[in-house]
């Protein structure tokens, strides 16, 4: 339910925070990384269960992080400092994009294909003067069965499907949402302002 | 609608993104203060009824601050001489966080803010959707125009004045005095996206500070 526009905007904000040097090339690469998870909405044409499963996972950032830190692969030496940082920023942008769908009613199968289960982690953390601390994000269950009974949704194999705009039910109506709520528009506007200011700042500093 | 915790996290994310290598502990203090400041109108609501989301969520508050900063640093230098080196960008970043995170996140969610209080007493909640649908084309529901035959005005999410709208908070749950034993709720996060924004804010702050301190 969080749109690609918002994942790209938030990814760019995180990248701007961790990168010293900012350019249009950086913006483009980070935007691609932040949009990558949502490409599985297109893959859903092959199999409807792949949406929010195929590219929404923790394994890609783990593998990318491993490659970037491994001395044997030596990516760090080959890429140089600036490019390595850019690669890390892209990994972070991707991870934040996945987190948006995991912490949402829409759910994401972040452990797929090793563990086939859609998770939707959402709830409340609040303090009430009459009820005390309230925490309803997940309930761990150690006595066998599912670990996160409240957050667990169906499985890819079991036919659970997160609706994709590219898979049309009646074969005609396609619906693609760019902004789903007010706050999404705000995050997009803020990202445009921040990225613009950073780029202007950078060019002024160089001239 | 997000809690102060989410405001602070989003403000820090914006601040770290804006300042880059200049993001340091002093900037963190300024930004955190700037994001907490608007929510202090939960207390003015106890004195002047229903002014939470109005008194300090009015755009006039950061507008006045901007005038003061501009006068004290650009027009003359009474403020600049009292500041440490590098404080001017920190202050402007704090002001950006005030508007974008402190006021913005409330204005762009369901309950809205009173952006021109006290000049115009009207709560506004900017909320809606934008998208494309076959047959319908591009659609948006942020601004709704009236049907030509009716004489209604343009709807941008007006919700009423402080006379009719009371935005509840743990400090002042309802208009007027509360019964003893009234439930007061102090939320931290209650939407999935609050969690993601809070995590992104923490991540940006940690990595931003780590880099600045490594290069210092």
Distance between A195 CA and the closest CA of chain B, angstroms: 8
Q: What is the mean pLDDT of residues B30-55?
A: 93
Query: Which residues of chain B have a CB within 8 Å of the CB of A193?
Result: 100
Q: Do A176 and B131 touch (CB under 8 A)?
A: yes
Instruction: Reply yes or no: is the peptide bond before residue A48 cis, omega within 30 of 0.
Output: no
Is the CB of residue A152 less than 8 Å from the CB of residue A146? yes
Domain-embedded: residue B87: yes
Domain-embedded: residue B208: yes
Distance between B53 CA and the closest CA of chain A, angstroms: 16
Domain-embedded: residue B180: no
Best CA proximity match to A48, nearest among A138, A169, A188, A196: A169
Distance between B183 CA and the closest CA of chain A, angstroms: 5
Best CA proximity match to A195, nearest among A5, A10, A7: A10
Q: Do B134 and A173 touch (CB under 8 A)?
A: yes
Which segment of A108-122, B72-86, B142-156 scores lowest on mean pLDDT?
B142-156
Which segment of A123-127, A176-180, B133-137 scores lowest on mean pLDDT?
B133-137
Q: Does pLDDT of A45 surpass 90?
A: no
Give the pLDDT confidence of B9-22 residue by residue, as tens digits.
Answer: 999 999 999 999 89
Give the pLDDT confidence of B128-159 residue by residue, as tens digits.
Answer: 999 988 888 899 999 988 777 666 778 888 88
Task: Please indicate if any CB of chain A lies within 8 Å of the CB of B108.
Answer: yes
pLDDT of residue B1: 66
Cα A68 to Cα A72, A79, A182, B105, B173, distances in angstroms? 10, 10, 37, 36, 51
Query: Which residues of chain B have a CB within 8 Å of the CB of A181?
Result: 108-109, 127-129
Residue of B nearest to A97 (CA): B196
Q: Is A155 helix (H, G, I), strand (E, B) or coil?
A: coil
Distance between B106 CA and the closest CA of chain A, angstroms: 8
Domain-embedded: residue B178: no
Q: What is the mean pLDDT of residues A65-79?
A: 87
Edge to edge, what strands does the sheet with A132-135 contain?
Answer: A132-135, A125-128, B185-189
Distance CA A134, CA A124 (A): 7
Distance CA B23, CA B29 (A): 11
Task: Please indicate if any CB of chain A lies within 8 Å of the CB of B183.
Answer: yes
Task: Please indicate if any CB of chain A lies within 8 Å of the CB of B128.
Answer: yes
Q: Is B135 helix (H, G, I), strand (E, B) or coil?
A: coil
Distance CA A139, CA A144 (A): 13
Q: Does pLDDT of A150 surpass 80?
A: no
Distance CA A68, CA A76 (A): 6
Q: Is A177 helix (H, G, I), strand (E, B) or coil?
A: strand
Q: Do A194 and B196 touch (CB under 8 A)?
A: no
Average pLDDT, rounded, for chain B: 91
| Residue that the structure tokens 């400090």 belong to | B171
Q: Do B23 and A193 touch (CB under 8 A)?
A: no
pLDDT of residue A156: 82
Is the CB of residue A43 less than 8 Å from the CB of residue A54? yes
Give the pLDDT confidence of A31-40 residue by residue, as tens digits.
Answer: 999 999 999 8
Distance CA B216, CA B45 (A): 44
User: DSSP E strands: which ranges in chain A?
Assistant: 125-128, 132-135, 175-179
Is the CB of residue A27 less than 8 Å from the CB of residue A147? no
pLDDT of residue A175: 80
Task: Please indicate if any CB of chain A lies within 8 Å of the CB of B143.
Answer: no
The domain total for chain B is 1
CB burial string A12-48: b at 16+ within 10 A, e below: bbbbbbbbeebeeebbebbbebbbbbbebbbbbeeeb
Q: Which of B18, B129, B189 sits opposite A197 (nearest CB)?
A: B18
Q: Which of B142, B184, B200 sits opposite A10 (nearest CB)?
A: B200
Q: Do B191 and A122 touch (CB under 8 A)?
A: yes
Query: Which residues of chain B have a CB within 8 Å of the CB of A96?
Result: 196, 199-200, 203
Task: Please indicate if any CB of chain A lies within 8 Å of the CB of B203.
Answer: yes
Of the ranges A120-129, A130-139, A141-150, which is most confident?
Answer: A120-129
Query: Which residues of chain B have a CB within 8 Å of the CB of A131?
Result: 183
For residue B186, the number of C-alpha atoms closer than 13 Å in the C-beta half-sphere is 10
Range of the domain at B127: 4-173+187-215
Distance between A17 CA and the closest CA of chain B, angstroms: 4
Q: Does pLDDT of A168 surpass 70?
A: no
Q: Which of B127, B184, B193 sits opposite A103 (nearest CB)?
A: B193
Distance between A21 CA and the closest CA of chain B, angstroms: 8
pLDDT of residue A1: 65
Distance between A112 CA and the closest CA of chain B, angstroms: 21
Task: Please indicate if any CB of chain A lies within 8 Å of the CB of B131.
Answer: yes
Q: Do B185 and A126 touch (CB under 8 A)?
A: yes
pLDDT of residue A76: 83
Within the 47-86 window of chain B, which residues sit less than 8 Å (CB to CB) from chain A? none
Instruction: Reply yes or no: is the peptide bond before residue B118 cis, omega within 30 of 0.
Output: yes
């Amino acid at each position: 339910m969080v749109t690609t526009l918002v994942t790209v905007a938030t990814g760019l904000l995180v990248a701007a925070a961790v990168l010293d040097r900012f350019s249009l090339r950086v913006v483009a690469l980070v935007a691609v990384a932040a949009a990558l998870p949502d490409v599985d909405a297109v893959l859903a044409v092959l199999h409807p269960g792949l949406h929010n499963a195929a590219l929404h996972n923790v394994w890609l950032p783990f593998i990318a992080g491993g490659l970037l830190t491994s001395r044997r692969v030596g990516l760090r030496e080959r890429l140089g400092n600036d490019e390595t940082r850019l690669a890390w920023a892209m990994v972070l942008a991707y991870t934040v994009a996945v987190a948006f769908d995991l912490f949402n009613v829409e759910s994401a199968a972040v452990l797929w294909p090793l563990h086939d289960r859609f998770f939707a982690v959402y709830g409340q953390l609040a303090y009430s003067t009459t009820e005390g601390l309230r925490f309803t994000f997940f309930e761990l269950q150690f006595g066998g069965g599912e670990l996160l009974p409240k957050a667990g949704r169906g499985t890819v194999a079991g036919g659970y499907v997160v609706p994709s705009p590219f898979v049309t039910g009646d074969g005609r109506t396609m619906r693609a949402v760019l902004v789903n709520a007010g706050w999404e528009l705000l995050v997009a506007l803020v990202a445009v302002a921040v990225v613009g200011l950073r780029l202007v700042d950078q060019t002024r500093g160089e001239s | 609608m997000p809690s102060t915790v989410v405001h602070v996290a989003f403000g820090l994310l914006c601040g770290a993104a804006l300042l880059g290598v200049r993001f340091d502990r002093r900037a963190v203090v300024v930004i955190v203060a700037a994001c907490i400041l608007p929510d202090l109108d939960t207390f003015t609501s106890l004195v002047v009824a229903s002014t939470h989301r109005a008194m300090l969520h009015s755009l006039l508050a950061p507008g006045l601050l901007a005038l003061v900063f501009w006068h004290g640093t650009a027009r003359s230098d009474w403020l600049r001489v009292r500041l440490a080196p590098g404080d001017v960008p920190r202050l402007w970043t704090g002001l950006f966080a005030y508007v974008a995170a402190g006021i913005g996140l409330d204005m762009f969610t369901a309950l809205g803010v009173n952006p021109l209080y006290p000049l115009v007493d009207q709560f506004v909640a900017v909320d809606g959707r934008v998208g494309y649908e076959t047959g319908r084309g591009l659609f948006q529901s942020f601004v709704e125009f009236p049907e030509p035959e009716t004489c209604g005005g343009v709807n941008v999410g007006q919700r009423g004045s402080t006379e009719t709208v009371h935005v509840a908070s743990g400090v002042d749950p309802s208009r007027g005095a509360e019964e003893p034993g009234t439930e007061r709720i102090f939320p931290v996060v209650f939407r999935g996206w609050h969690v993601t924004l809070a995590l992104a804010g923490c991540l940006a702050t940690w990595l931003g500070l780590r880099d600045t301190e490594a290069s210092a």
